Amino acid sequence: MGNSLKSARLQIESRLPDAMRGDGYACYDLGVAYSTGTDGADYDLIEAHKWFNLAAVAGNAAAQTARAEIADDMSAREIAAAQRAARAILATNQRRAA
C-alpha cells in the first residue's frame, strides 16, 4: 500500500471512533469522504447517506443538505439500506448510554 493511500486510510480510521460515538462533525467528514471517494474511502453512496444521516441527527445542518443531494442519485432500496445502517448505529449508542 502506498504512503498516500495509507495516510488516507488513517484519516478515515481516525474519524471513525468519534463518528461511532455520534460526533456530528466526524460523521459529516465520513459522509463527504464516501460521497466523493476521497480520504481513503471508496465511493459509496449508501455509506455516505448513512454518515450524513447520523450527522444530521446530531444537528449538522450541512449534512441535511448533503444527504438530500446524494439521495437524488440513489434508489429507494439504497436509501432504505442506508437508513437501516444508521438506525443500527443509533441503537448501539443508546444501549451503551443505558
Which grid cell sits at 25?
A: 462533525
The conformation of residue 55, written as its DSSP 8-state character, comes to H
Q: Would you place residue 92 in the very low, low, confident or very high pLDDT band (cuts 50, 70, 90)?
A: confident
- CA 23/CA 26 separation, integer angstroms: 5
CA distance 36 to 50: 14
Give the model's pLDDT for residue 11. 76
Burial class of residue 87 in the structure, from the number of CB atoms within 10 Å of its CB (0-12 exposed, 13-18 middle, 19+ buried): middle
pLDDT at position 4 is 58
Q: Which tens digit of pLDDT belongs to each residue from 12-53? A: 888 899 999 889 999 999 999 999 998 888 999 999 999 999
Whether 65 and 48 have beta carbons less than 8 Å apart is answered as no
Is 98 a residue whose pLDDT tops 90? no
